[in-house]
Copies of this chain bind each other. A is one copy, B any other.
Amino acid sequence: MNIVVQKYGGSSVATPEKIKCIASTVIKRKEAGDSMVVVVSAMGKSTDQLIALAKSISEKPSKRELDALISTGEMVSSSLLSMAIQEMGHDAVSLNAYQIAIKTDGTYGKSIIQSIDDSVIKKHLEEGRIVVVAGFQGISESYDLTTLGRGGSDTTAVAIAARVGGVCEIYTDVEGIYSLDPRLYSEAKKLEEISYEEMVELSVLGAKVMHSRSVELAQKYNIPIYVGMSCSDTKGTYIREVKNMENKPITGIAVSDADVAVTLENIDFDINLLADIFESIANKKINIDIISQTAPLHGKVNLSFTIPAEELDECINTVSKFASKEDIIVDEDITKFSVVGIGMKTTSGVASKIFKIFKENSVQVKMITTSEIKITCAIKREDKSKAVEIIAREFNL
C-alpha cells in the first residue's frame, strides 16, 4: 500500500468551492493508485473567529476551554471534505483526535504528539476509503482536547506519515518555500529544495509556511515533505536531506515582529540565579530566543532575552521574583532578522559581511545570537525593509 498523507491549510478549505476542488484533487490521486490520508486545518479564518467569540466572553479565556473550542474548527472542515468526496462517488471517512487516539503531552495551546493509533486509519485505507483527519488537535491523558499550536496540522500530517509509513505533502496558498517572504521582497526566489535544518530555523524564526515542530519530526523519521500550492500544477519545494549542498552560504531570510525584548538590570552575577531565571521561564513553556548578558560590573550584570509578545505578561510575572519592577525593562520596538543557511557551516565570514552591510546602511543591531547555520539580530522595526533588501540583494536570494 503506497500511502500519501496530504495536508491542506485553512485557506485551501476556506469555502465549499475550495473544499470541492480539494476533493477532486484527492480523488485523482486515489484513482492513480495511492492510498490517501488527508489532514485538514479549519476553514479560512474560522479559528480566529472562534477566538474572537471567546474573547467577547473572557479577556483571557482558560487554555483548556479555548482548546476545546477551537478544536471544533478542524472537525467541521474534516466532515465537510468527507462529504465532498462522498458526493463525488468515493468512500471517505472523517476522523477526529479521539477516534485515532492522537495522544499528547497535555499542554494546552502547544501540545506535543506522543502517540497515534494508526489501526483505525489502516483499516479504513484497506477497505478503500479516503481518510480525512482533523488536524491541529490531540487528546490529553485526561481526555481533554489539546491543540498543537498555530500551524499544528502540519505536525499532525507528518506524525501520521511517520506512523503509517507514507510520504507527506503539504498544500497551502503559496507555491512553495521562498528564500524570504515575497511580500517583503518581491524578487524573492522559490527554492527547489531546502534541508530540514534550514527549514526548522526559518520556521522557528517566523517563516509562516511550515510548523517548525513538523519539520523536526520529519527530520527525525526522515520523511521528505513536499510543499506546494493546492489545486495548482506549479512545482513546489521539497524539504529533505540535502546532499548536493549549494555554494550559497545563505538559503533564506526570516523576519518577525512577534517578539519583544526583556532586560533584567543589575541582577547578581551568579550562574545559579541565571539557571533559576531560565528554568522558571521554561516551566511556563515560554520560548526564549536571543539571550545576551553584559560583562559583570561590581558583581552585577544586565540580562536581556527575547520572547513572543503574547507571553510578555506571564513572563514579567515569572521574573518579577528575580528583579524589582523598575529593573525590568521591556523593549517592544524590535524586529528579529535572521539569515539561515547550511552553507554557513563551511563558509566563514558571513557574520562579518552582514554586520559590515548593516553598518554601511545604518541598521542598528540591538542583540545578536548565532548557531551553526543561522545568525539572528534584533533590529529596530523601522529598519526592517531596508535590512531585508540589502541582505537579499547582497546574497542573491
Chain A residues at the B interface, C-beta cutoff of 8 Å: 16, 19-20, 50, 53-54, 56-59, 61-62, 64-66, 68-69, 71-72, 75-76, 78-80, 82-84, 86-87, 93-94, 96, 98-99, 143-145
Closest to A96 in B: B68
Contact A16 B68 (CB under 8 A): no
Q: What B residues does A76 contact at CB under 8 A?
A: 50, 53, 69, 72
Contact B83 A57 (CB under 8 A): yes
Contact A83 B98 (CB under 8 A): no
Known contacts A16-B57, A19-B57: does B98 contact A86 (CB below 8 Å)? no
Residue in A75, A83, A94, A99 with the greatest tally of chain B CB atoms within 10 Å: A83
Contact A99 B65 (CB under 8 A): no
Contact B99 A144 (CB under 8 A): yes
Task: Indicate how many identical chains form the complex.
Answer: 2
Contact A82 B94 (CB under 8 A): no
Contact B80 A54 (CB under 8 A): yes
Contact A83 B96 (CB under 8 A): no
Closest to A100 in B: B143
Selected from B57, B69, B99, B143, the residue in CB contact (under 8 A) with A84 is B57
Distance in angstroms between the alpha carbons of A16 and B56 in the assembled complex? 7
Distance in angstroms between the alpha carbons of A145 and B72 in the assembled complex? 13
Distance in angstroms between the alpha carbons of A145 and B68 in the assembled complex? 16
Contact B62 A86 (CB under 8 A): yes
Contact B16 A53 (CB under 8 A): yes
Given contact pairs A66-B83, A98-B143, a sample of 17 additional A-B residue pairs in the complex whose CB atoms are under 8 Å apart: A16-B57, A53-B80, A54-B80, A57-B87, A58-B83, A61-B83, A65-B79, A65-B83, A65-B86, A68-B75, A68-B79, A69-B75, A69-B79, A69-B83, A72-B75, A96-B145, A98-B98
Distance in angstroms between the alpha carbons of A271 and B145 in the assembled complex? 54
Closest to A76 in B: B72
Q: What B residues does A145 contact at CB under 8 A?
A: 96
Interchain residue pairs with CB less than 8 A apart (27): A19-B57, A20-B57, A50-B76, A53-B80, A54-B79, A54-B83, A57-B80, A57-B84, A59-B87, A61-B83, A61-B87, A62-B83, A62-B86, A65-B82, A65-B86, A65-B94, A66-B83, A68-B78, A68-B79, A68-B94, A69-B76, A69-B79, A71-B75, A72-B72, A72-B76, A98-B143, A99-B143
Distance in angstroms between the alpha carbons of A75 and B65 in the assembled complex? 10
User: Closest 5 A-B residue pairs measured CB to CB?
Assistant: A72-B72, A69-B79, A58-B87, A16-B56, A58-B83
Contact A84 B58 (CB under 8 A): yes
Distance in angstroms between the alpha carbons of A273 and B145 in the assembled complex? 51
Instruction: Report A43 CB to chain B, min CB distance, Å.
Output: 9
Q: What B residues does A83 contact at CB under 8 A?
A: 54, 57-58, 61-62, 65-66, 69
Instruction: Report A63 CB to chain B, min CB distance, Å.
Output: 11
Distance in angstroms between the alpha carbons of A68 and B71 in the assembled complex? 13
Closest to A134 in B: B68
Q: What B residues does A65 contact at CB under 8 A?
A: 79-80, 82-83, 86, 94
Closest to A19 in B: B57
Distance in angstroms between the alpha carbons of A64 and B86 in the assembled complex? 12
Closest to A145 in B: B96
Instruction: Report A64 CB to chain B, min CB distance, Å.
Output: 8
Distance in angstroms between the alpha carbons of A71 and B68 in the assembled complex? 13
Closest to A86 in B: B62
Instruction: Report A341 CB to chain B, min CB distance, Å.
Output: 43
Instruction: Report A296 CB to chain B, min CB distance, Å.
Output: 45
Instruction: Report A57 CB to chain B, min CB distance, Å.
Output: 5
Q: What B residues does A87 contact at CB under 8 A?
A: 57-59, 61
